[in-house]
Chains A and B, each alone.
Chain A
Amino acid sequence: MKNPLDSLWGTIISGLVLTVILYFVVKSILGQGI
């Protein structure tokens, strides 16, 4: 499988996915609003 960081779009999509995951981690697991 190709490393997503090799392409700019792969990097941007990775960043967006990470943002969504971290948002729900902070909101749900830690129970704190952003």
Chain B
Amino acid sequence: MDYVPALARWLHFMAGVMWIGLLYYFNFVQVAAMKAATADGTAAGIGKHVAPRALLYFRWAAVVTWLAGAALLSDKFVDAFTLRHGMAGIGVGAWLGTIMLFNVWALIWPNQQKILGLKPATDEEKNRARRVAFLASRTNVALSMPMLFFMAGGSLGSPHGFWATAGAVMVVVLIAAVGFASGALGGLFVRCDLTLSHHRASARARAAPVPPAIASRSGEPAAAGCRSALRFPRSSRSCYRRSSAATSLPS
């Protein structure tokens, strides 16, 4: 076994999984999450703590993937990029990967720096940066599909390569579909469970007497819904705002 190609292949796969995994995370998860988080005022956390870290691994994984892929092609590098000598399949994959790498470093990252405030920009520039970064990212999702098809098919190199690839793609799609379905169902169950727990806790709190601390601060009994706030600090703020004692309590 030749160690350099084996290591290059291993590195190419690992970095590729990280790169494309984070690309799918951004497009399938974070875009929708940011929209929902902006609506309830919690987007700052994602923008400050999650996005910069995800972008760090995303952009450098892209570089490592490309370099490891180039090392793997080795003396067939030129043949692949010129689509000659039976290297058209892997060559198309290599070209698509190169375009995606360009999108990451020339379009997504510079515009994300403006969006996240790492680079000074006016509101108008930020809005434009958002659109450019979004479209570049979505373009990469679309390009990743033929890129993976040709990368997988190109490495098989047999007359049955297409059907083997088609079969592999179908298996991956099936696994992804099962994953999405179970994830969605799992999410639904967790949500139901949290809602039920909240209702049970609220019912228990309503049945319990009002803690003297709340009653004595305002000089009057707290609103009924605020009893559950002792268990759920986040809802407690809105409860205190609703009650007449709100102004005298710390936020």
Neighbouring A residues of B139 by C-beta, 8 Å = 5
Q: Taking the complex as formed, is B149 at the interface, i.e. its CB lies under 8 A from any CB of chain A?
A: yes
- Residue of B whose beta carbon sits closest to that of A7: B138
Across the interface, do B145 and A33 meet the contact criterion of CB distance under 8 Å?
no
The secondary-structure label for the interface of chain B is helix
Give the number of residues in B that approach A within 8 Å (Cβ atoms): 25
Q: Taking the complex as formed, is B222 at the interface, i.e. its CB lies under 8 A from any CB of chain A?
A: no
The bracket for how many chain A residues form the interface is: 10 to 19
Neighbouring B residues of A6 by C-beta, 8 Å = 138
Q: Pick from B89, B141, B146, B149: contact of A32, CB below 8 A.
A: B89
Neighbouring A residues of B142 by C-beta, 8 Å = 5, 11-12, 14-15, 18
Roughly how many angstroms separate A32 CA and B153 CA in the complex, as a whole number?
Answer: 12
Across the interface, do B162 and A33 meet the contact criterion of CB distance under 8 Å?
yes
Task: Please report the number of residue pairs spanning A and B whose Cβ atoms sit closer than 8 angstroms.
Answer: 60
The secondary-structure label for the interface of chain A is helix
Neighbouring A residues of B149 by C-beta, 8 Å = 19, 23
Across the interface, do B27 and A3 meet the contact criterion of CB distance under 8 Å?
no
Neighbouring B residues of A32 by C-beta, 8 Å = 83, 86, 88-89
Neighbouring B residues of A1 by C-beta, 8 Å = none
- Residue of A whose beta carbon sits closest to that of B165: A34
Roughly how many angstroms separate A19 CA and B145 CA in the complex, as a whole number?
Answer: 7
- In the complex, per-residue mask of A14-34: 1 if CB is within 8 Å of any chain B CB, else 0: 111011001100100010111
Q: Can you add 5 more A-B contacts, CB < 8 Å, to A11-B138, A15-B145, A34-B89?
A: A5-B138, A12-B142, A26-B92, A34-B156, A34-B165
A-B complex: 5 closest residue pairs judged by Cβ atoms? A15-B145, A5-B138, A19-B146, A15-B142, A34-B153
